[in-house]
Amino acid sequence: MPEKNLFSWNIMINGHVEDSNYDEAFLLFREMQLKGEKGDKVTMVSLLLACSHLGALELGKWLHAYIEKEKIEVDVALGTTLVDMYAKCGSIDGASEVFRKLPEKDVMTWTALISGFAMCGQGKKALEHFHEMQMSGVKPDAITFVGVLAACSHAGLVDEGISHFNSMHEVYGIQPSIEHYGCMVDILGRAGRIAEAEELIRKMQMPPDRFVLGGLLGACRVHGNLEAAERAAQQLLELDPDDDGAYVLLSNLYSSMKKWEEAKRIRELMAERNVKKAPGCSLIEVDGIVHEFVKGDSSHPQSTNIYEMLQDMIERLKKAGYVPEKSEVLLDIDEEEKETALSLHSEKLAIAFGLISTNPGTTIRVVKNLRVCSDCHTATKIISKVYEREIIVRDRNRFHRFQDGSCSCKDFW
């Protein structure tokens, strides 16, 4: 391409974002600026989406400042993307502030805010905004109800969740999708109403997917319902024999009930089928730069300091009562090796890096591509108390806000 214009820059930046090549997108934006071309609304939407995926709050704030500095018009699309960015980066206050200042809001704007509050564990606040949305005359759509039902789940509002679910078709003419059924299974399962969750799955107008069955299996683990867990796991493994999460959850449930032979059988089945746990990856942003860690990572330039902090973390955690949850390790290795394997999980490395790279009292924000394991969840609760830090972890399900030894999810995720 002999000469690039704003249109062609935007095409390339958006292409990189859609392909998850976020670093390349920002490098192009930097090159674009060096060549004297300023970004517009389209550029900002693409880059803000990248920040949402990365959990890069500081970078997102910088883009917000750029929008204001360059006097880029914040229309509904850009405003909604800003709300979504702040929410997905764990700054629900930032999302609310942007939302309040927007002169025009559509269903997607309201949905971004409602879903943000739901994901951050503030279910009642999400429902308050849903009520405001209805009063303002904006009609909710199917995506809005995913956020509403998630809010009911996180707030433990079972009857209200059932009411909203029924209103979808009865009031708004919206046919519930698999996502809505998944939310309802989560609502019922979280409340311990496992039989009702199973009955709902049986009555669904479509076959359950791995997320619906995985939600049921997770609820069975929390409430210790072994029979229902075995039924859910059987369905899940028939649907997807390579779903590592099903093996892990069922094995952990057997272990928690001291059914060691059954737990061993699940581990052996996993090995026979050559099922590997999906590799965990954790991101943390420090000074506008996103750092990526995988399990046992030693590629970071500050790796020596990170592992020194990791050792300090483990020692201080044990003094505070931490006991590694070795049942999370399904490898056939000895107990000491299991303990070492747990200490090398990607989120622990990211948190260790955050502790050495930020000032005392600063909030540490981590984005994890998988569900946080129970050992890391327990450890992070204690880290937040021992090091007097607020730690916000976004996993594939929700936000976990760890503070003073407890988590906003109330140990249900």
* pLDDT tens series, the chain, 413 aa: 556 789 999 999 999 999 999 999 999 999 999 999 999 999 999 999 999 999 999 999 999 999 999 999 999 999 999 999 999 999 999 999 999 999 999 999 999 999 999 998 899 999 999 999 999 999 999 999 999 999 999 888 999 999 999 999 999 999 999 999 999 999 999 999 999 999 999 999 899 999 999 999 989 988 989 999 999 999 999 998 988 888 888 887 888 788 888 888 988 898 899 988 778 899 999 998 999 999 999 999 999 999 999 999 999 999 999 998 876 665 555 666 677 788 899 999 999 999 999 999 999 999 999 889 889 999 999 999 999 999 999 998 889 999 999 999 888 77
Residue 392 bridge partners (DSSP): 365, 401
Query: How far apart, in whole angstroms, are the C-alpha atoms of residue 341 and residue 170?
Result: 51
For 25, the token pair is 């997108």
Q: What is the pLDDT of residue 249?
A: 81
pLDDT at 327: 66
- Quickly name the fold that domain 186-276 has: 1.25.40
Q: What is the DSSP string of 130-173?
A: HHHHHHTTPPP-HHHHHHHHHHHHHHT-HHHHHHHHHHHHHHH-
Domain ranges of the chain: 186-276, 281-407
Instruction: Give residue 341's pLDDT.
Output: 81
The sign of the torsion formed by the CA atoms of 398, 403, 409, 411 equals positive
Task: Using CB atoms within 10 Å of the CB of residue 187, give its burial: 0 to 12 exposed, 13 to 18 middle, 19+ buried.
Answer: buried
Give me the long-range contacts of 117-120 (CB less than 8 A, separation at least 24): 117/87, 117/92, 117/151, 118/147, 118/148, 118/150, 118/151, 118/154, 119/87, 119/88, 119/150, 119/394, 119/398, 119/399, 120/87, 120/90, 120/92, 120/398, 120/399, 120/401, 120/408
Write down the pLDDT at residue 6: 93
Confidence (pTM):
0.88
Rounded Cα distance between 239 and 80, Å, is 36
